[in-house]
Structure 1
Amino acid sequence: MNLIERAGLAALHRIDPEAAHGLSLRALNAGLVPLPGLVTSPRLDCTLAGMALANPVGLAAGFDKNATALAALSRSGFGFLEVGAATPLPQPGNPKPRLFRLTEDRAAINRFGFNNDGMQAIAARLQSRPRSLPIGLNLGANKTSADRAADFAQVLATCGPHVDFATVNVSSPNTEKLRDLQGPAALSALLARVMEVRAGLAIPIPVFLKIAPDLSPDEIAEIGGIALAAGLSGIIATNTTLSREGLKSAARDEMGGLSGAPLFEKSTRVLAQLSLATAGRLPLIGVGGISNADQAYAKIRAGASAVQLYTAMVYQGIGIAVRIAHGLEALLARDGFASVHDAIGTGRADWL
């Protein structure tokens, strides 16, 4: 971490977390953050559901909810970006405060509740997005919706022409009963509607499903089967957790989803179980608790084709993307892998 990043993080940590989040986006757009540009090499160059990635390190949804910092983020060293979640109608989300730093645990708890500007505003910004790397959108449903499955389909129909992939997010714990859509009947029906819309796009983009870490092995296997049957392009494992096991920070009992370091082992176990259940037939994206190259590499060896991160940026700054990409290059070379693809799933048994 350079001195500019260190000083900026120190200043941001003195103010309210959500205000700090907003300031970080403004700093990126104002050019106040040094950005390295594209980070790649023959070993890091890879594909994800047919999309060419300069490197397998992606930005998870939630940081740029409204697609307002795409130009800067496209030069920050990530191999791909995911923005959102977007809902059909704008909504304010849950009352503040709704974001909490757990510094002692290198974690965060949020209960945002899909606060966003709505699909029309987000689609307009995505129309003028950079084309230097894949950019996807996390699809959400309005809190007041009477038909949440229709919401996901509507957002895809509106924004799908302007993105490279989309993610069906039924795993956020902050919209009441949203996780109920992970049940087999509801999930199958929802995915059928989303995939019908995808088929009607001029370019049928990859569609991923983002799942919760708080699932049993049987539920994980069932979801894997449903995803395969639906024709999905892959699964993102995982979203935030409701668990509070082992936390030390004062804010540990706040309601919401926990992300960051404490999630690493739980989410990686789910990833490995999902890799086993789908037998390599679906690309997986590993998310949860990644804060260094060793952990990103562990996700890949557990079965991930690519990884995403967000919370670690709170503690290490946006430069973490470059550090992890370079670290992955070194780890792959150390173990004799010529490509990311060659390493996928080679350590899965360690997590089962």
Structure 2
Amino acid sequence: MTEADLESHRSDVTGELREDVRAGLTAAQKWLPPKWFYDADGSELFEEITALPEYYPTRCEREVLAARAGDIAQLTGAHTLVELGSGSSEKTRLLLDALTGHGTLESFVPLDVSESALAEATEAIAADYPKLEVRGVVGDFTRHLGLLPGGRPRVVAFLGGTIGNFLPEDRTTFLRSVREVLDEGEWLLLGTDLVKDRETLERAYDDAAGVTAAFNRNVLRVINTRLGADFDLDAFEHVSHWDSENEWIEMRLRARRALTVEIPGAELQVRFAEGEHIRTEISAKFRPGGVEAELKAAGFGLERWWTDSQQRFGVSLARSVRG
């Protein structure tokens, strides 16, 4: 592939990181968005997480895609596959194989906030699918959806349960924004982790090997690298728990001691009390009826609903309908 195949909005992404750091770390309850986990190191750590025995979502979603990719190709006849938050795009190869085998796919457009991870993934896919136009977009899927190229009809894949990282009101806004960039009759393929027992959920986000803890702290490394901050990663410990009322997992970083952090790139000095938390992620879990209702409210009609053999993870194929 050529350099032109990777369209970068890095300056926009860095500016948004600055905005998020200023907003989140000056709030009464400090927070950071989970998308900032994913630089090259964070992407590698997440790939490790997906192979952990405790972390079931990736395996369950892959099981569904392996069984249903042919159905997805047949139903959508997609000319373009868009993947939001693509990472390594490994699961997407199941869709690429099915869509290219069906004979309709012309282009693949992965969008990811991590330029390094996206470059590696697009190069590998372009090499393995030489007849496919591969054009990566470095950007934030909450802001850059309108920049996505590709011929119609398109299917937008938002996999891995990442939709659960949005607060409910932001989830509504995001799904509507996806609908706005699609023509009537185009498609959304959505992966949603399902509500299940507390022990299974908590183990998935606090593994025995400590990989999730390293991944959680990586958001601080990203701020150090991009904004010149001086976070001491060892000064923060990983915390996760299941919120049964909201039906989501929360991940937090807890300060082991009182400290002050300088963040020159955000013109910010942040003080932490001992034991103070930064919320770095929520991961909402879903019920089938709730997924269908949220899709309908955003302007999508649910066409197919599939789960893995243990009914732990849901994949929905929805079609944009007339507003």
- TM-score under structure 1 length normalisation: 0.30
Larger RCO (alpha carbons 8 Å, 6+ apart): 2
- TM-score under structure 2 length normalisation: 0.32
Q: Which structure dedicates a bigger proportion of its chain to strand?
A: 2
